[in-house]
Structure formats: C-alpha cells, structure tokens
Amino acid sequence: MWRGLAILALAGALVLALLASKYSAALQYEQIGDSAARAALGDRITSLEHDVTEAHSQVTALRQRLEASGETVRAALAPDSRIIHLVPLSPAPGARAVLVESVSNGAAVLLVSGLPPAPSGETYALWWIGPRGEAFKAAALQLDPHGAAITAASAPPASAHVAAGEITLQPAQDASQPGGTIYFKGAATER
C-alpha cells in the first residue's frame, strides 16, 4: 500500500511539475508577445514622430512661401515697382525667372522655376549688377524639389544705380561676389 501511495504521490508530483512547466511556458510566451507588441508600438511612435516633424517642416516652408508671395504682391503693386524679366542662359534654357523690386517698400522678390538642383557645396545666388560691373548680393536661393523658388531679396542700396540682375551658381563658401556660372541675366529698366 505504501508503494501505491508513493507511486501515486510521484505521479501527482509529475503532473504538478508538468502543469507548472506549462504555466511557466505560457507566461514566457505572453511576455514575449508583450515585448513584441511594445516594440511594434515603439516603432509606430517613432514613425509618427518623424511624420509630425516632416509635416512641421512642410508647414514652415508653406508659411515662408506665403510670406514671400505677399511680399511679391506688395512689391508688384507699389507705385514705384519695376519688374525685371531675367533671361535664361545656356545652362538652363527652359528655366524662368522674374524679379520684382520696389524702392518705397524696400522689398524685392524673385520668382524662379525650372532650375536643376545645385550640386553639393554650391548655391544659386541673385545679384544686383551696377553699370560698371559692381555687384550687390540680393539673395541665396532655396529651391523646392521641382527647381522653383519664391525668394525675398534685399533691395539694392538706395544710392546704387542698378543696371541688371543675374543669378549665378557658385561655391557656397564664396558667395560675396558673383563668380560662378551665370544662369540668368536681365537688364533693369530706368525708373
């Protein structure tokens, strides 16, 4: 009889050990599932944070374009406004550019489209050109992915007589004087 009870106790202990092992495996499986779910949620949160950052950048760019568009309208509607149509040269024959300037508003705005992206380390720049070739930097251009920009520009100095405007592509670190490839050039009309 003691033998039967010992076997029965041993069988009971084995059953309990198997149940404990199965319960432990179920808990580990659940923890693994929770870890995977947490990792997936973490990845999704990171993705959403990136999307929010990208949307914020797009909103900022749209605000800047809207502000520049308003400046364009103000400059174009000013009584002393002048429009300089910049002629595309051989590096970008299909590109278009127009420069609107108003002395009374102290504003100038450039609208450009069709430019190829600037190579790394180079930038497009707008220049006011005087009758003796003196140059005044008006703006550095930040193109959108389609090669277009609406850029607020510095008006030429009040004492300067501006004969032309031009857009160059040149090394970014040497942007104090025009010296790169000229993409656009246009003569300024007298006031």
The tens-digit pLDDT sequence of the chain (191 residues) is 667 777 777 788 888 888 788 877 777 777 777 777 778 888 888 888 898 888 888 888 788 777 767 766 766 677 777 888 899 999 899 999 998 888 777 778 888 999 999 998 899 999 988 888 888 888 888 888 888 888 888 887 777 777 888 999 988 876 777 888 999 998 876 55
Q: Is residue 149 part of a domain?
A: yes
d(C-alpha 136, C-alpha 129), whole Å: 7
Provide the residue type at 132 as one letter: R
Residue with the two structure tokens 């149940």: 19
Q: How many residues does the chain have?
A: 191
Angle among Cα 59, 63, 68 to the nearest 5 degrees reads 150
- Per the DSSP assignment, residues forming a β-bridge with 82 are 101
Q: Is residue 51 part of a domain?
A: no
What pLDDT sits at residue 113? 93
Q: Is residue 134 part of a domain?
A: yes
Q: What is the DSSP letter of 185?
A: E
Strand 164-171 versus strand 181-187 pairing type? antiparallel
H helix or E strand, kind and range, residue 11: helix 2-77
What pLDDT sits at residue 84? 86
Q: What count of other Cβ atoms lies within 10 Å of the Cβ of residue 76?
A: 16
Q: Is residue 17 part of a domain?
A: no
What pLDDT sits at residue 124? 92
d(C-alpha 160, C-alpha 44), whole Å: 57
What pLDDT sits at residue 116? 93
**What is the distance, to the nearest Å, from the Cα of residue 24 to the centroid of all Cα atoms in its chain?**
52
Q: Is residue 37 part of a domain?
A: no
Q: Is residue 48 part of a domain?
A: no
Q: Is residue 166 part of a domain?
A: yes
Q: Is residue 102 part of a domain?
A: yes
| CA distance from start to end of the chain | 123
Angle among Cα 120, 121, 123 to the nearest 5 degrees reads 95
Nearest partner of 110 among 148, 77, 146, judged by Cα: 148
Which range marks the domain in which residue 106 is found? 78-187
The structural domain count of the chain equals: 1
